[in-house]
Amino acid sequence: MKFFFNPRGIAVVGATASKEKGGNIIVSNLKKGYSGRVYPVNPRYKEIEGFACYPSVSDVPDPVDLAIVFVAAHMVPKMIEDCAKRNIPGVMIQSAGFSETGTKGDVLQQKAKQIAEKTGIRLWGPNCMGLVDASRRYVFSTVTPAIWDTGLFPGNVSLIAQSGMLAGAFLIDLMSHGTMGISKVCSIGNKMDVDENDLLAYLIDDPDTAAIGLYLESFTDCRRFMALSRGTNKPIVILNGGKTARGAAAALSHTASLSASGVIVSGAMAQAGIVEANDFYQLADYCKTLGMYPNIPPGNKNRVAVLTYTGAAGIVSADIMDRHGLVLSEFRAATLNELQTVFPEWMPPSNPVDMWPGIILNGSKKVYGKAMEAVCADPGVDAVFIHCFAGGFSLETDLEMMARTAGKAGKPLFCWISGERERVYQFQVSAQQHGIPVFREVMRAVECMGMLFNRPLVNETEERPRVSQEICRLAADARLNLLTSEKGALDEYVSKQLLGACGIPVVEEKQVFSLDEARQAATQFGYPLVAKGIVPGIAHKTESNLVRLGITSDHALETAVTSLFQTMEGRGSILIQKQVQGKIELVAGFVRDDRLGPCVMCGLGGVFAEALNDTVFGVAPLTLTDALHMIDRLQCRNMLDGYRGFDPVDKNTLGSTLVTLGNVGCAFPDIQEIDINPLIIHKGVPVAVDGLVVLAQKVESG
């Protein structure tokens, strides 16, 4: 990949002297920043932008490591062949007109890809904006030359974008507003060869990159992406586009219907320690924050000192912090005493620190300096959020001092800035140079603080699970032969028999075909009981009036069983179950995703499973640590810790159940879905009281 980022020479195929066209813009951008050899290629010209022009790629002299191609789509396959014959290792195709346009364009793209596979040449694109390297001042792109007027602010954040225009327009926006510095921006377009994984692997090893952000609409290999992300200490942020529902209405199980959105990908990203953003500016701000504080590990540190010149902003900051897992630091006495030295006697300092009365008394520089020194020296402060104003009235701040004080104490410093436009721009540029993330909104500043401390935690030293002995044992268990001989949805009784054989706790139950057999089961289990009608083809029994709860006597049992047989019209059987008492109902399951393969789900269950949609997913096979992190991502996690008299959940047992579900799915490729709903928490232990296993439909031969 090095020849894409630091080539000794570049051939521009499709170069032109027409300044408004992309072929000229590429050459002009190279002329302004690239230090290697530039070879325009076009038989119509002898010279372009001061460079000698060559009639074909075969005529280009050495050294040449990269060809940037900007010609009509139908000409591209021939150009790739010419580059391969010329022994150029990499081609960056910035032309459009390929798979994004339909069938005809897809044929061209497949032809180009076949040439690459045959010759070994690497292809970047097509339909992309190429590469901008602000550190080296390399612009291998059709991005407008206006980018040079805004100033290529170098930084340590690199971006990978599947959208070409977004990469160029967004970069200019960030640069022109002084929002953040950039190391590299890679626009990858249709990803016919070079994909996000190739670029991610390169940027992970790139010494100029401290944090990596991506905008992706699809994954070439999501599991490889997860492995790369998990294997690096560099923070990674992703904005995933195209999280659309796919077939939820046709899903047999709750697990499958709840997986019909981007929630599976979100679970995979969290499992790999990747931060997820929801819009473009949040992506940039998250990356900016992590680029400035790449070595701050996620954890329980969340105590913030707020230094403000307006009490209202301090109050709003505290309100927003509460929603992002942050708390106001409780200052020690020594800190309060230090602050009091620059405060009026009548005003005792507190957190948030309203510095305005002190500023009136002692001036802004002295008060800001004393406040920074005091809170940074306090062991109860994990981060500092400072409010600044630029222009309009006398409120001077010393950014260098603030950065130095916070850096010496090892405490992240965040800044909210408001004021006059030009002064704010200058402030942002200066703050960036001093390594201080600065924001125009209190909300975004607090959001980024919360992200820094509460982002996904990954145990990088833990060995990833493989096809373990447990999976092999499951595959050899004779009780599970149904999983290779049956097809479609199995009934609840058979499903739970299989789950129990795998080691998942299931409710005591008996399948009966008459009232007498139901009475025998009642004698065996004791009351209270549950009776369920099992009818072929009906997966959701509650909606079909096939469940009777709270059976506490022989008479109630007779009434329930008789009613069920009438509803069933002579079909199927009845399950008599010991009624499991528990205040918490969860749902757990397995689904085989088209993109990620075997995945496990856990969430709030019962009749609210789909209504509230509090679910999380993980990619199987899971470690127990993976499973515990999944549980901790649930919004209802406080309920699991013994909230308001609820029995605390044995999370290790619940986590083991999730691990087992993943193992079962990995052991038996025919399993498409497993749904356990509800998984009732009884005396802290999860018990499956309903279950559904869905197998792949067999393809008949002949």
Tell me: the pLDDT tens digits for 89-134? 999 999 999 998 899 999 999 999 999 999 999 999 999 999 999 9
Which among 135, 153, 133 is positioned nearest to 143, based on CA atoms? 133
Which among 325, 279, 277, 304 is positioned nearest to 415, based on CA atoms? 304
Rounded to 10 degrees, the C-alpha dihedral 67/72/73/74 comes to -110
Rounded to 10 degrees, the C-alpha dihedral 667/671/677/682 comes to -20
Q: What pLDDT is recorded for position 471?
A: 62
Cα–Cα distance list, 70 to 76, 94, 437 (Å): 8, 5, 38
Q: For 306-316, what is each residue's pLDDT tens digit?
A: 999 999 999 99
Tell me 250's DSSP state: G
Residue owning tokens 């049992």: 557
Which among 533, 573, 527 is positioned nearest to 551, based on CA atoms? 527
Backbone angles phi, psi at 285, to 5 degrees: -70, -40
Q: What pLDDT is recorded for position 474?
A: 65
Q: What pLDDT is recorded for position 640?
A: 87
Which strand (E) or helix (H) includes residue 69? strand 66-69
Q: What pLDDT is recorded for position 47?
A: 97
Burial status of residue 319 (CB atoms within 10 A of its CB: 0-12, 13-18, 19 or more): exposed
Banded model confidence at residue 177, pLDDT cuts 50, 70, 90: confident
Give CA–CA dist 424/250, Å, rounded: 53
pLDDT surpassing 90 at residue 605: no
Name the maximum alpha-carbon separation found in the chain.
Answer: 101
Burial status of residue 559 (CB atoms within 10 A of its CB: 0-12, 13-18, 19 or more): middle
Give CA–CA dist 676/671, Å, rounded: 14
Backbone angles phi, psi at 38, to 5 degrees: -120, 130
Domains and CATH numbers, the chain: 2-209 (3.40.50.720), 303-454 (3.40.50.261), 508-579 (3.30.1490.20)
Mean pLDDT computed over 272-293: 94
- Whether the Cβ atoms of residue 16 and residue 42 lie closer than 8 Å to each other: yes
- Using DSSP's 3-state secondary structure scheme, residue 673 falls into strand
Which among 490, 489, 588, 493 is positioned nearest to 533, based on CA atoms? 493
Q: For 336-360, what is each residue's pLDDT tens digit?
A: 999 999 999 999 999 999 999 999 9
Q: What pLDDT is recorded for position 328?
A: 97
Tokens encoding 69? 């191609």
Q: What pLDDT is recorded for position 468?
A: 57
Q: What pLDDT is recorded for position 146?
A: 74
Q: What pLDDT is recorded for position 248?
A: 40
Give CA–CA dist 681/634, Å, rounded: 16
- Whether the Cβ atoms of residue 131 and residue 138 lie closer than 8 Å to each other: yes
pLDDT surpassing 50 at residue 276: yes
Give CA–CA dist 439/281, Å, rounded: 11
Residue owning tokens 């689904």: 591
Q: What pLDDT is recorded for position 87?
A: 96
pLDDT surpassing 70 at residue 607: no
Mean pLDDT computed over 535-557: 88
Q: What pLDDT is recorded for position 261?
A: 57
Banded model confidence at residue 165, pLDDT cuts 50, 70, 90: low
Banded model confidence at residue 638, pLDDT cuts 50, 70, 90: confident
Q: What pLDDT is recorded for position 247?
A: 39
pLDDT surpassing 50 at residue 250: no
Show the 3-state SS of 46-106.
CEECCEECECCHHHCCCCCCEEEECCCHHHHHHHHHHHHHCCCCEEEECCCCCHHHCHHHH
Q: What pLDDT is recorded for position 501?
A: 86
Q: What pLDDT is recorded for position 36?
A: 96
